[in-house]
Amino acid sequence: MIARRALLALAALAPLAAPVGVGAQPARPRFYAKGTKQRAVRFTGSEGAELVGTLLLPIWSELEKVPGVVLVSGSGPTDRNGNNTLVPERIDLLKQVAELLAEAGIASLRYDKRGIGASTQKPHGSLAELERFFSWDNFVGDVVAAQAELVRHDEIKSYATALLGHSEGGLLVLAAAPAITRNPPHGMVLLATPGRKLADILRAQIERGAPNLLAPVDRAIKAIAATGHVPSDLPRELEALFPPYAGPFLQRLLAFDPAQALAASRLPCLLLQGAADRQVVPMEDIQPLIDSLGKRDAPGEAMVVPAASHNLKLVQWPTDTGFGGPIAPAVAAKLTSWMKQLLGA
């Protein structure tokens, strides 16, 4: 039965139900010019942090309102464009998504996370101050603030919006969506988002790649779950994985159940996953989300794209990291068509 589910998913699941649009939209006049315009934005996130980002709009938003999407980046030092300072190659995933959506008539707001890029940098005070700044609730609150900033702009249809998150950003989207009660989103897209608890995925990754570190990783996970603090005596190799200030954030993140959160959501949802993802492994790590889609009485669709990486780029050869290049064509086509149907673009 499990093998059959996996085979169906790899073939790209048929929609469980057609995405619910926001109503028929008038045909766009032929004289509307192609192109985009962008606007720098600054807004207040959770607990007063200043978040800096980019609002990318279709050029015809000067003549009529357009739908809008908040884009949420993945884990680590990842900026508004989807680039990570620990990765030398340019990824530009969220920048490419924004440009793709703008060409389809959909605006997007993407922002540097707290502590990253032009947004408020991490404090230089006590460990407790750092722990609070980087708390899970603050990252979730920042997504809520980004949605409020998106609909504040006159060009945006507040009744036709969505949230899109990549990897850990998808987890933040799942956590933030129920908290947005004013001008809530009308759907969500989860790109390469894990469906199991991150504690289980992390243990599996370490067991595959560095089994000698499994015991200290397991000890760290148990200590963080119990105390909300990172142990001070971990091997140096684990410092990047378990920063000293990340205890409260990791306590919530490692225990967060994405499949349960999706099952409880009434929002239309699209899952897009690469079959060549080495971080969120098909089908083990994403099957719980696919199962949750099947249990809901709400529109949902899942697609697993052959030869696509964690960053939804085509993998050209076995050692290709899948960081660079354009978004896989199948991903681009599905994302565009699904969003246009959902938001009436």
pLDDT of residue 43: 98
Query: Which pLDDT band holds residue 98 (cuts at 50, 70, 90)?
Result: very high
What gap in Å lies between CA 179 and CA 181, rounded to an integer?
6
Q: Give me the mean pLDDT over the 154-172 stretch.
A: 98
Task: Please give the full DSSP string across 283-319, using - where no structure is assigned.
Answer: TTTTHHHHHHHHH-SS-EEEEEETTB-TTSBB--STT
Class of domain 35-196+256-343: alpha beta
> 19-61 pLDDT, tens per residue?
444 544 555 544 456 799 999 999 999 999 999 999 999 999 9
β-pairing, 107-111 vs 300-305, is: unpaired
**Is-above-0.75 flag for pTM?**
yes
Q: Domain extents for the chain? A: 35-196+256-343, 198-255
pLDDT value at 181 more than 70: yes
- 147 and 180 in contact (C-beta within 8 Å)? yes
Instruction: Look up residue 178 and give its DSSP letter.
Output: G
Structural tokens at position 198: 């991150």
Q: What is the largest CA-CA distance in the chain?
A: 65
Whether the pLDDT of residue 15 is over 60: the answer is no
Is residue 184 a contact partner of residue 157, using CB atoms and an 8 Å limit?
no
What's the pLDDT tens digit per position in 220-273?
999 999 999 999 999 999 998 999 999 999 999 999 999 999 999 999 999 999
CA 102 to CA 96: how far, in whole Å?
A: 10
